[in-house]
Structure 1
Amino acid sequence: MRKIILSIIGILLIIATFLYAKKLIADKNKPKPVLAKVIKTVFTDTVKNTKIPIVIAANGSLEAKRRVELYAEVQGVFRSGRTLFKPGQTYSSGQAIIRIDASEYYANVQSAKSNLYNSIAAIMPDLRLDFPDVFNKWQNYLNSFDLNKTTPKLPEMTSEKENYFITGRSIVSNYYSVKNLEQRLAKYTIAAPFSGILTEALVTEGSLIRSGQKLGEFIDPSVYEMEVAISKTYANLLKVGEDVLLNNLDKTETYQGKVSRVNGSIDATTQTITAYIEVKHENLKEGMYLEANLNAKEENDAIEIDRNLLLESQQIFVVRDSLLDVIDVKPVYFSDTKVVLKNVPNGTIILKKSVPGAYAGMLVKPFEDKSNTKNE
C-alpha cells in the first residue's frame, strides 16, 4: 500500500514539473510589448532679428518740486485769521498763512520811527542856515515820512560836509536800526511764497509759538518730481528733457513726464545714478508710488524672450527636425520678466514657452493652431 501511494506522488510530481517547464518555454517565446514613444507638444516661434528698444523700469514716490517747511523766527501767540491753519487748506501767492501777535513789537517799531523823524526834524533849522542847497531835499523827505508805512530810504548825500553833519547827529545809525526792526516785524507774518496747499500743520490758533519752532509744510501741488536710481551702465544714456512714460502700480493710469535733472555723481555703495523725473497731472498726489519706463537705447539685430527660456549656461532651446537642441546666445539686457538676446540667426525655431524636463535630443512636436489653419 505504501509503495502504491509513493508511486502516485511521484507521477504527480513528474506531471507538475512537465507543465511548469512548458509554461516557461511559452513565456520565453512570447514577444515583449513595445512602449509607444511620448512626443511632447511645444509652443514655438521663428526668430526675426529687429531693433529692440531697451526700456529701463524704475520705481519711486512723488514729491512736490516746490515745497517749504514753515519755521517761526519770532515768538508770540498765533492769531486766528480768515482761513484755518489746517492740512488741505489752499493759499494763493502772497496770502498770509500765519499771523503772530506783534502788537508789543509793533509799538517798539513805531517808537523808533518816531525818534528818527524827530531827529531829522531837529536838524532842519541848521540845514536851512548851513546847507541851504540840501534843505529842500530833506524837507521833502520829512513830508513823505509816514509812520504807518515802511520807512523811506534816506536822501542821497552829495557832499562830505553834509555826510559828516547828518552822520554826526546819529541819523544814519537810527535809520538802519529802524530798518532792522521793520525787517523783524515782517517775520511776524508768514506769507505763501507761491500758490499751493498746506500738507502739515503742527500748531493751532491761540498756540504760543517759539522762535525756531516748526509750524508745518507747504507745497505746490501742480508739479511733482520722482527720484529714481538707475544703473551706472546707462548713466551716459540719460539726458535732461527726455520724455518718460509713467504708470501706477495697477497699470490703470499713465502719465507723461520728462527727465528734469540727472545727478552728476554715482552712488559708491549701490553703483547707481539718480535721475529726477518731472510730471504734471491733476490726479497726482504727493507720496503716490509710480513706475517709470525710461527709453535708454535701442539694440540692433536682437530678439526679446521670456527670462525663463534662457538657461544658466547662456543657451536657449531650438527645434531641429522635431528634436530639441541648444545654441549659445549673448544676453545684452535683463528686465524683470524679459531678456534681450543677440547672436540668434534669423529663421531659427525657438521655444516660445518653457517645457518642464526639456533636454537636448528630446522629441517634440510644434503646436499648430487649428483655428488659424481653418481661417486660412
Structure 2
Amino acid sequence: MRKIILSIIGLLLIVASFFYAKKLIADKNRPKPVQAKVVKTVFTDTIQNSVIPIVIAANGSLEAKRRLEIYAEVQGIFKQGSKLFKPGQEYRAGQTLIKVDAAEYYASVQSAKSNLYNSIAAIMPDLRLDFPDIFNKWQNYLSGFDLNKTTPKLPEMTSDKENYFITGRSIVSNYYNVKNLEQRLAKYSITAPFSGILTEALVTEGTLIRSGQKLGEFIDPSVYEMEVAVSKIYANLLKVGEDVVLNNLDKTENYKGKVSRVNGSIDPTTQTITAYIEVKNTNLKEGMYLEANLNAKEESDAIEIDRNLLLETQQIYVVKDTLLDVIDVKPIYFSDTKVVLKNVPNGTVILKKPVPGAYAGMLVKSFEEQPEAKDQQ
C-alpha cells in the first residue's frame, strides 16, 4: 500500500513539473512592454542681451554726521539748568547744555580785572603830564571798562615811547592774564554748537564734575552717514555725489542717499575701500541698520539670471529641439541672488527655473503660460 501511494505522489510531481516548465517557456517568449518616454515640462526664457547695471549691495549702521562728545575742562558742581540733562532732550543752537558752578573762579577773575583797572588808573596822572597826546585814548578806555563785561582790547600803541611806558608798568601782562582767566571762565558753561538731541548723559545735576571727565554725547538728528566697505575692484567706480538707494532689513522702507566721501586708501587686511553715504529722513535713527545699493557701472551685451541656474562648471542649461544642453558662459558679477553673464547669444532659450535631476540630453518641453482672460465687456 505504501508503495502505491509513493508512486502516485511521484507521478503527480512529474505532471506538475511538466506544466510549470511549459509556463516558463511561454513567459520567456512574451514581448516586454515598452516604457513610455517621460517628457518633463520646464519654464524657459528667450535671451535678449542688454545693458545690465552692476549694483553693489552693501550694509552698515547709521551714525550722525555731526556728533559732539562732551568733556569737562574744569572742575565743579553741575548746576541745574532750564532743561534736564537727560538722553532724548532737545537743544537749540546756543542753548546751555551744562553749567558748572564757577562762583569761586569768577571772583578770582573779577579780582584780576580790578587789578588791571587799578594799574591803568595809576598811570593816568603820568600820561596827562608826559604823554598828553595819548591821554584821551587811555581815558576813554577806562571810561568803557566794565567789570561785569568782557575786558575790552587795549588801545593800540602808536609809538615806542608809549609802548615802553605801558609795558614797563606790567599793564600788558596783566591784560593777557585777565584774558586767559576769562577764556577759562567760559569753559564753565558748555553750549550747543548746533540744534540737536542728547543721546547720552553720564552726569546729573548736583554731580561733582572733574576735569577730563566725559559728560555725554550730543548729535544732530537731521543728517546721518552710513559707512560701507566695498571691494577694491570697484574703487575707481565709486563717485562722490552719486545717488544711492537704501532700504531697511524688512524691505518695507526706501530712502534716498548719496555718496558723500570715499576713503583714499584701501584696507590692507580686507582689501576693501570705505565709502560714506549721506542720508536725510525724519524716520531715521542713529544705529539703524540699512542696506545700500551702489550703482558701480553698466555692463553691455549681458544678461542677469538667478545664481542657482549657473552650474559649478561655469555653464548654464539651454533648450535645443526639446532636449537639454549646456553652454559655456562668462560670469561678470555675483550678488546675493543674481549673477550677470556674458557670451550668451541672443535668442538662446534657457531654463527660467532649476529642474531637479537635470542633465544634458533630457527630453523637455516648454511650459506655455496661458494668456490672461480679457475683461468682459
Equivalent-residue separation in structure 2 for 1:149 and 1:284 (angstroms): 43
- Shift in Å, 1:365: 1.5
- Shift in Å, 1:36: 1.9
In structure 2, the residue matched to 1:290 is 290
Superimposed CA distance per residue, residues 340-368 of structure 1 (whole angstroms, 9 cap, x where no aligned partner): 00000000000000011111111111111
| 1:184 has 2:184 as partner | yes
| 1:315 has 2:315 as partner | yes
- Shift in Å, 1:279: 0.6
Alignment of 1:54-69 (within 5 A): 54-69=54-69
Alignment of 1:180-329 (within 5 A): 180-329=180-329
Superimposed CA distance per residue, residues 156-193 of structure 1 (whole angstroms, 9 cap, x where no aligned partner): 11111111110110000000000000000000000001
Superimposed CA distance per residue, residues 126-148 of structure 1 (whole angstroms, 9 cap, x where no aligned partner): 01111111111100100110000
Alignment of 1:346-365 (within 5 A): 346-365=346-365
**What is the DSSP-based 3-state SS (H/G/I as helix, E as strand, rest coil) of the residue aligned with 1:86?**
coil
* Structure-2 change in CA distance of 1:100 and 1:26 (3 Å): same
In structure 1, the residue matched to 2:335 is 335
Equivalent-residue separation in structure 1 for 2:296 and 2:61 (angstroms): 21
- Shift in Å, 1:252: 1.1
Equivalent-residue separation in structure 2 for 1:353 and 1:254 (angstroms): 29
**What is the DSSP-based 3-state SS (H/G/I as helix, E as strand, rest coil) of the residue aligned with 2:340?**
strand
Equivalent-residue separation in structure 2 for 1:165 and 1:367 (angstroms): 105
- Shift in Å, 1:371: 4.2
Equivalent-residue separation in structure 2 for 1:52 and 1:366 (angstroms): 26
In structure 2, the residue matched to 1:154 is 154
**What is the DSSP-based 3-state SS (H/G/I as helix, E as strand, rest coil) of the residue aligned with 1:163?**
helix
Equivalent-residue separation in structure 2 for 1:266 and 1:63 (angstroms): 21
In structure 2, the residue matched to 1:84 is 84
Equivalent-residue separation in structure 2 for 1:243 and 1:316 (angstroms): 34
Residue identity opposite 2:291 in structure 1: E
**What is the DSSP-based 3-state SS (H/G/I as helix, E as strand, rest coil) of the residue aligned with 1:15?**
helix
Equivalent-residue separation in structure 1 for 2:128 and 2:101 (angstroms): 43
Equivalent-residue separation in structure 2 for 1:226 and 1:71 (angstroms): 25
Equivalent-residue separation in structure 2 for 1:117 and 1:248 (angstroms): 64
Superimposed CA distance per residue, residues 240-265 of structure 1 (whole angstroms, 9 cap, x where no aligned partner): 11111111111111111110000000
- Shift in Å, 1:327: 0.2
Q: How many residues align?
A: 375
In structure 2, the residue matched to 1:15 is 15
**What is the DSSP-based 3-state SS (H/G/I as helix, E as strand, rest coil) of the residue aligned with 2:124?**
helix
Equivalent-residue separation in structure 2 for 1:169 and 1:294 (angstroms): 68
* Structure-2 change in CA distance of 1:39 and 1:107 (3 Å): same
- Give me the TM-score of the superposition, normalised by structure 1: 0.97
Superimposed CA distance per residue, residues 37-78 of structure 1 (whole angstroms, 9 cap, x where no aligned partner): 222111100001011011111101110000000000000000
- Give me the TM-score of the superposition, normalised by structure 2: 0.97
| Structure 1, gaps ≥5 residues long | none
* Structure-2 change in CA distance of 1:148 and 1:3 (3 Å): closer
- Shift in Å, 1:4: 4.5
Equivalent-residue separation in structure 1 for 2:41 and 2:350 (angstroms): 13
Equivalent-residue separation in structure 1 for 2:72 and 2:93 (angstroms): 19
Superimposed CA distance per residue, residues 304-328 of structure 1 (whole angstroms, 9 cap, x where no aligned partner): 0000000010000001111110000
- Shift in Å, 1:82: 1.0
| Structure 2, gaps ≥5 residues long | none
**What is the DSSP-based 3-state SS (H/G/I as helix, E as strand, rest coil) of the residue aligned with 2:215?**
strand
Superimposed CA distance per residue, residues 78-129 of structure 1 (whole angstroms, 9 cap, x where no aligned partner): 0001111111111111111100000000000000000000000000000111
Equivalent-residue separation in structure 1 for 2:200 and 2:4 (angstroms): 118
**Bigger CA drift: 33-42 or 226-235?**
33-42
* Structure-2 change in CA distance of 1:172 and 1:2 (3 Å): closer
Residue identity opposite 1:282 in structure 2: T
**Bigger CA drift: 29-38 or 149-158?**
29-38
Q: Percent identity?
A: 84
Runs of 4 or more consecutive aligned structure 1 residues displaced over 2 Å after TM superposition: 1-14
- Shift in Å, 1:6: 5.2
